[in-house]
Structure 1
Amino acid sequence: MNQFKFGLNTSTIRPSGLMDKIKIAASAGYEAIELWNDDLTAYEEDGGSLADVKSALEDHGLTVPTVIALHGWLNTTGDEHVQAIEETKHRMNQAIAIGSQRIVASPPMEKADLDLGGKNYRELLEIGRELGISPAMEFLGFVQGINQVKDAWKIIENADHPDSTIVLDPFHIFRGGGDTEDMREIPAEKIAVFHFNDAPASPARKLQTDADRVYPGEGILDLRQMISILRSSGYNGVISLELFNPIYWKQDPLEVAKIGLDKMKSVVAS
């Protein structure tokens, strides 16, 4: 019996409308869906209600492991930080409104102060606890600072907060020059979500961008090793297909979602 739940990160079918994304995820057979704050904001600005989004998610039987994302909070101080925190509160409330228990907290593009980052992440977690949501620490392989598992984990250690969690992602481990074995240091209860994707043989690692991501099993990453580590940890949460490939965006989104789910299941079962 599979211990994981399969989710669709809606970046995979980005051109589709918000409500269409929800329908597609359910129709393709996913149990969970990750939505983006930018989509929620656009929907509200067009006169939509987040209560209707929550109802649609419930009607289609989809859970929301995370909403994406919080920015500008980690490396800032003073008035800039105050403004960033106000925006994070708004985004947290959006995520809460649609029933998500977590929201992704992204690192800055520049090099980061890990001590300040830990302090500010703890602040986010305290705000989240008051509101009813937990920010999950993310690393990004293409940024200058927090681009490996160990970097995000150091922020978590510095924050020293019981609600802290990490977002794991094969592409970012690869792109940041990280080590898959670093995943072994992460207890299952500290994993918010496992993003699933693969990386092609070319272009070279340091030249790859999110747009180069491919379906799981179609690239060069040792995804089976990562799944083995997840299993060993006891993780039983969501594995979420997160792609940003413009080739897929031009294709039928339901077909892309179905193919992606089949590819994920094949890798997990192998």
Structure 2
Amino acid sequence: MKLGFNEATCMKKSNVMRDLELCEKYGYDYIELRLDMIKDYLEDHSIEDLKEFFKAGHLKPFALNSIENINFCNKRQWNELIDLFTFGCKVACHIGNPYIVVVPTVTSEVSNKNEEEVFIDSVNVLNKLADIAEKYNVKLAFEPIGDKKWVCNSIRQAYEIVKLVNRDSVGLVVDCINVYLHDKCADIEYLRKIPLDKIFVFHINDCENLPLGILDHCNRLFPGDGCIPIKEITDILKEKGYDKIASLELFRPEYWNMEPEDVIRIGAEKTKQYL
């Protein structure tokens, strides 16, 4: 697997240019850029500047993060989502970034939707987004979020959706904490059932040993510092032949307050043991 970095990990004290330089310095292979941070970057730089950085160095772009709350949108929400998504597709196409991460909805208004409703809506939305993305040679990486507040919260549910969509341009994100949040990795063996060509992105992280219902994304830790069976997850992926990104994605306030260079350096050291 290749060493990756997701900009959410240092987003409170860093920026695109700093992340790029530090990831290059510490030997990362890929970076997942955040759309909001790209917009900030473009206030003082151009897309051509970004393209030239990747052309000149070892680091390459992989998956833009992220288009969120894609399910059950009203007209205004959908129009705003499409505007952001199209912006992301144009950026991705220009810099040679192959994937955009898309995330199911978490709102109190739709949390009571049943699985059939979520299934129908997700298939419809992913097809509409893929119609746009394919014009830019971009693929969609659909990420189930393990907490049950999200309308799609298991690898099994997400794969069944992606399977019915049945497009080469639509696959999955496998995220360690999301696998763990869904009944503490109760469906980890389901990873073996997912075809290799449908696993687009892998997010690597650990977490504190807290009860489900209390555990949240702010409790993420560096790989190896918590209770997630990361080796078991990575071993399954390796057995399948997965050799793409293992992207460090952390949302921990403690890490946000650290110097980005320290987080990126430690993150590389902690992650490499699993590659």
Fold match by TM threshold 0.5: yes
- How many pairs are equivalent? 263
Aligned equivalent of 2:169: 163
Q: Is the 8 A contact 1:22 1:60 kept in 2?
A: no
Q: CA deviation at 1:239?
A: 0.5
Could you tell me how far apart the structure 2 residues matched to 1:145 and 1:91 are?
23
Q: Given the alignment of the two structures, is residue 8 of structure 1 paired with residue 5 of structure 2, yes or no? A: yes
Q: Given the alignment of the two structures, is residue 184 of structure 1 paired with residue 181 of structure 2, yes or no? A: no
Could you tell me how far apart the structure 1 residues matched to 2:6 and 2:19 are?
10
Q: Deviations over 1:178-215 (max 9, x none)?
A: 5211211112211111100001113x222122211001
Could you tell me how far apart the structure 2 residues matched to 1:21 and 1:78 are?
35
Q: Given the alignment of the two structures, is residue 85 of structure 1 paired with residue 88 of structure 2, yes or no? A: no
Aligned equivalent of 2:62: 65
Q: Given the alignment of the two structures, is residue 52 of structure 1 paired with residue 49 of structure 2, yes or no? A: yes
Q: Given the alignment of the two structures, is residue 94 of structure 1 paired with residue 94 of structure 2, yes or no? A: no
Q: Is the 8 A contact 2:102 2:142 kept in 1?
A: yes
* Residue type of the alignment partner of 2:257: K
- Following superposition, which runs of at least 4 residues in structure 1 exceed 4 angstroms of deviation? 77-80
2:251 to 233, 238, 244: 244
Please tell me the root mean square deviation across aligned C-alpha atoms, in Å. 1.7
Aligned equivalent of 1:17: 15
Aligned equivalent of 1:119: 124
Q: CA deviation at 1:82?
A: 4.2
Q: Deviations over 1:35-65 (max 9, x none)?
A: 1001011222x23212212222232321112
Q: Given the alignment of the two structures, is residue 107 of structure 1 paired with residue 104 of structure 2, yes or no? A: yes
Specify every segment of 5 or more residues in structure 2 that has no aligned partner in the other structure, as ranges.
none
**Deviates further, 55-64 or 144-153:** 55-64
Q: Is the 8 A contact 1:71 1:88 kept in 2?
A: no
**Deviates further, 13-22 or 109-118:** 109-118
Could you tell me how far apart the structure 2 residues matched to 1:247 and 1:72 are?
26
Q: Is the 8 A contact 1:74 1:121 kept in 2?
A: no
Specify every segment of 5 or more residues in structure 1 that has no aligned partner in the other structure, as ranges.
none
2:155 to 146, 149, 154: 149
Aligned equivalent of 1:220: 227
Q: Deviations over 1:151-189 (max 9, x none)?
A: 211221231212211000010111132521121111221
**Deviates further, 66-75 or 208-217:** 66-75
Could you say if the C-alpha distance between residues 9 and 94 of structure 1 is closer, same or farther in structure 2, counting changes exceeding 3 Å? same
Could you tell me how far apart the structure 2 residues matched to 1:118 and 1:248 are?
36
Q: Is the 8 A contact 1:31 1:63 kept in 2?
A: yes
Could you tell me how far apart the structure 1 residues matched to 2:177 and 2:213 are?
12
